Amino acid sequence: MKFGVIVFPGSNCDIDCYYVLKDVLHQKVDYLWHKDSIREDYDCLILPGGFSYGDYLRAGAIARFSPIMSSVIEFAKKGKLILGICNGFQILLEAKLLPGAMIKNNCLQFVCKYIRLTKETRDTPFTNFNKIILTIPIAHGEGHYLADKDTLKMLQDNDQIVFRYCDEKGHITESANPNGSVFNIAGIVNKQRTILGMMPHPERCSEKELGSMDGKLIFESIINYLA
Kindly list the catalytic residues.
86, 201, 203
Rounded CA gap, 105 and 145, in Å?
9
80 DSSP 8-state letter: -
Distances (CA, A) of 42 to 39, 47, 127, 184, 226: 6, 14, 20, 33, 11
Q: Which of 189, 199, 201, 200 is nearest to 225 (CA)?
A: 189
Per the CB < 8 A criterion, the answer to whether 188 and 210 are in contact is: no
> How far is residue 202's CA from residue 207's CA, in Å, rounded to a whole number?
10
